[in-house]
Amino acid sequence: MPGNDRLIRALLRQPVDRTPVWIMRQAGRYLPEYRATREKAGDFLTLCKTPELACEVTLQPLERFDLDAAILFSDILTIPDAMGLGLSLVEKQGPQFARTVRSAAEVKALPALDPDTDLGYVMEAIRLIKRELNGRVPLIGFAGSPWTLATYMIEGASSREYSRSKTLLYNEPRTLRHLLDKLSIATRDYLNAQIEAGVDAVMIFDSWAGVLTPQAYRDFSLVSLQNIVDGLVRERDGQRIPVTIFSKGAAHSLGGMANSGCDALGLDWTFELGIARALVGDRVALQGNLDPAILRAESAAIREQVAKVLASFGSGTGHVFNLGHGITPDIDPDHVAAMVDAVHELSPAYHDD
């Protein structure tokens, strides 16, 4: 167990002295040191696939901020990339695939993955990061949800309408389910390999859950998440490995998510933490959910909004402070420091220890 185990304890709803805090995309373009390392790498995918550089950028935020966790520097699209779809990241356009998956035959042709071989660079990065952390804080591993990965594989790029994905869902639900089943197996195996390599907690990012109707979310995305959670290794060396699900825009199904067997749910900024806590009770911890846009404001406003998030959750354990989505590249690092400092100063009042 890391020396600072606040994150793990909070995810498991055990007592903590203050609310732990980390930031989604905390290693990213808002940090000048990250931009320098990325320039050295030449491009984003090289940065992800070079373990020494991935380790370097994973650790950079911890040198600036007193955070309670490191999160593996990687990308949610590593699985479809390893399946041979030809991932590239085009400047100002985002991820694009050379090949798409839109038919039953194309789904059937997708290869099964061996994460230790096909994604071995991720496992090597984890081992390097763990060695460099030396027990300082926990390391979070992650993967994209099957539904979110499927949208990229079907559309071939980022999308606003998800028209091809939704058409497949309604016209050929069996084909989509076959794709989601394949991705569920790959994601389960990938996360288990990360756990074996040394991560202390894992998180599943269901970034595009909010484009589905509540019923479609439950029938297609949530069932896939359940299958993954059911197959995860939950203990290593006598320590529980917490699992967090973050389905952005799917607060309508909090009850179902809480019954999935996960340890925690991430919330975006569009739903009250206090209401979510009342809905899920003591079944799961909650992570979130400061609006990332507040980090463009002055320190006093940041502090005020941090106070409101903490007050919304209320007293007791089971809260991990975070943004309601990833930090954006335009944020001043000093504003991040103001947020972290506010959590440190204000959150002990909500804990007995």
Residues 16, 10: Cα–Cα separation, whole Å: 7
Q: Active-site residue among 5, 68, 75, 118?
A: 75
Q: Is 194 annotated as a binding residue?
A: no
Residues 250, 257: Cα–Cα separation, whole Å: 9
Q: Is 207 annotated as a binding residue?
A: yes
Q: Does residue 25 carry a catalytic annotation?
A: yes
Q: Active-site residue among 6, 18, 25, 177?
A: 25
Alpha helices (runs of H) in 294-332, residue ranges in sequence order? 299-313
Q: Does residue 29 carry a catalytic annotation?
A: yes
Q: Does residue 152 carry a catalytic annotation?
A: yes
Tell me the HSE value of 132 on the side-chain side, using a 13 A CA sphere: 21
Q: Which residues pair with 90 in a beta bridge?
A: 94
Q: Is 178 annotated as a binding residue?
A: no
Q: Active-site residue among 29, 64, 99, 164?
A: 29
Q: Is 152 annotated as a binding residue?
A: yes
Q: Is 26 annotated as a binding residue?
A: yes
DSSP string, 104-162: HHHHHHPPP--HHHHTHHHHHHHHHHHHHHTTSS-EEEEEE-HHHHHHHHHHSB--SS-
Q: Is 28 annotated as a binding residue?
A: yes
Q: Is 75 annotated as a binding residue?
A: yes
Q: Is 82 annotated as a binding residue?
A: no
Spatial CB neighbours of 200, under 8 Å, sequence gap ≥ 6: 1, 2, 7, 8, 138, 139, 140, 239, 241
Q: Does residue 38 carry a catalytic annotation?
A: yes
The tokens describing 108, both together, are 């059937």
8-state DSSP, 68:
S
C-alpha distance from residue 320 to each of 19, 69, 165, 272, 306 (Å): 6, 11, 33, 14, 12
Q: Active-site residue among 30, 34, 152, 190?
A: 152
8-state DSSP, 21:
B
CB atoms near residue 281 (< 10 Å) = 9
Helix, strand or coil, per DSSP, at residue 185: helix
Q: Is 296 annotated as a binding residue?
A: no
Q: Active-site residue among 38, 177, 277, 283?
A: 38
Question: Annotated catalytic sites, by residue?
Answer: 25, 29, 38, 75, 152
Binding-site members are 25-29, 75, 152, 207, 325
Binding-site members for substrate are 25-29, 75, 152, 207, 325
